[in-house]
A = this chain, B = another copy of it.
Amino acid sequence: MISEKMRPFLANNSAIRMMFEEGKQMAALYGADKVYDFSLGNPNVPAPEKVNQAIKEILDEEDPLFVHGYMSNAGYPQVRAAIAENLNRRFGTSFTERNLIMTVGAGSGLNVAFKTVLDPGDEVITFAPYFLEYRAYVTNYDGVLVTVDPDESTFQINQEGFRAKMNEKTKAVIINNPNNPTGVVYSEETIRALAAILEEKQKEYGHAIYLISDEPYRELVFDGATVPFVTNYYANTMVVYSYSKSLSLPGERIGYLLIPDELEDSAVTIDAATIANRISGCVNAPSLIQLAVGRCVDCQADLAFYDRNRKTLYEGLTSLGFTCIRPQGAFYLWVKVPETGSVCDAEGGAGADQACGAGSEADSKGRRNADSETRADDAGNRLAAEAAFVAAAKKYHILAVPGSSFACTGYVRLAYCVSYETIVNSLPEFKKLAEEFSL
Knowing A3-B141, A280-B108, A286-B289, say if A9 contacts B275 (CB, 8 Å): yes
Selected from B1, B44, B65, B137, the residue in CB contact (under 8 A) with A281 is: B137
Selected from B5, B42, B207, B254, the residue in CB contact (under 8 A) with A70 is: B42
Chain B residues with CB below 8 A from A5, complex form:
115, 119
A232 interface residue, CB < 8 Å from B? no
A157 interface residue, CB < 8 Å from B? no
**What's the least CB distance linking A64 to chain B, in Å?**
4
Chain B residues with CB below 8 A from A119, complex form:
3-5
Contact check, A251 vs B287: say whether CB atoms are below 8 A apart.
yes
**What's the least CB distance linking A6 to chain B, in Å?**
5
Contact check, A272 vs B109: say whether CB atoms are below 8 A apart.
no
A55 interface residue, CB < 8 Å from B? yes
Selected from B140, B251, B279, the residue in CB contact (under 8 A) with A280 is: B140
What are 19 sample pairs from A and B whose C-beta atoms fall under 8 A apart?
A1-B117, A2-B116, A2-B265, A3-B118, A3-B119, A6-B116, A40-B70, A42-B65, A46-B64, A55-B59, A55-B288, A70-B251, A104-B281, A105-B283, A111-B280, A111-B281, A253-B282, A254-B286, A288-B288
Contact check, A64 vs B279: say whether CB atoms are below 8 A apart.
no
A195 interface residue, CB < 8 Å from B? no
Interface size class of A (residues with CB under 8 A): 35 or more
Measured in the bound complex, the distance between the Cα atoms of B1 and A118 in whole Å is 9
8 A Cβ contacts from A1-29 to B:
1-6, 9-10, 13-14, 17, 20-21
Question: Which residue, of A10, A71, A279, A290, has the highest number of chain B Cβ atoms within 10 A?
Answer: A279
Measured in the bound complex, the distance between the Cα atoms of B92 and A309 in whole Å is 51
A366 interface residue, CB < 8 Å from B? no
A409 interface residue, CB < 8 Å from B? no
Contact check, B108 vs A251: say whether CB atoms are below 8 A apart.
no
8 A Cβ contacts from A192-242 to B:
207-208, 210
Chain B residues with CB below 8 A from A86, complex form:
none
- In this complex, what residue of B is CB-closest to A75? B251
Chain B residues with CB below 8 A from A70, complex form:
20, 40, 42, 250-251
Contact check, B251 vs A2: say whether CB atoms are below 8 A apart.
no
A268 interface residue, CB < 8 Å from B? yes
Contact check, A252 vs B207: say whether CB atoms are below 8 A apart.
no
Contact check, B2 vs A272: say whether CB atoms are below 8 A apart.
yes
A188 interface residue, CB < 8 Å from B? no
Chain B residues with CB below 8 A from A288, complex form:
55, 251-252, 288-289
**What's the least CB distance linking A238 to chain B, in Å?**
12
- In this complex, what residue of B is CB-closest to A12? B275
Chain B residues with CB below 8 A from A42, complex form:
65, 69-70
Measured in the bound complex, the distance between the Cα atoms of B288 and A55 in whole Å is 10
A68 interface residue, CB < 8 Å from B? yes
8 A Cβ contacts from A254-305 to B:
254, 264-265, 268-269, 271-272, 275-276, 278-290
